Amino acid sequence: MKVVEGYIFLRELRFHAFHGVMPQERQVGGDFILDIRVGYPLEQAMTSDEVQDTLNYASLYELVAQEMGQPSKLLEHVAGRIVRAIEKSFPQVSSIDLKLTKQNPPMGADCQGAGVEVHFERS
């Protein structure tokens, strides 16, 4: 069996972090939801049943949590740092889809959130 594409994903990760342009956002913080899907060769793990043959999602979470813990003004900057850290730590990654949502953004709107989505593909 040949797997053309395989993905590891983490869904609705919740963080309290200090990202934002407004001074209050940097002091009090806010709530964020992150979804990530990482393209990774899964064929070996599908036959071996060994964690070392895949991208360990606990390791992926730790990397994301570390980057979410570093304050930034822009969500684009946070997303870029996460993508670069994953690319550096896991060279076999072929793609990354990331969605970062700031809940209750300070813009006077009644909404579920605002944020960014990025798609990275290794060339």
Which are the catalytic amino acids? 102
The H-assigned helical ranges of 32-94 are 43-48, 57-68, 75-89
Do residues 33 and 12 make contact, with C-beta atoms less than 8 angstroms apart? Answer: yes
Among candidate residues 38, 88, 85, the one with its CA nearest the CA of residue 63: 85
> Structure tokens of 43?
């064929």
> Structure tokens of 75?
């969500």
Q: How many CB atoms lie within 10 A of CB 41?
A: 16
Do residues 20 and 106 make contact, with C-beta atoms less than 8 angstroms apart? Answer: yes
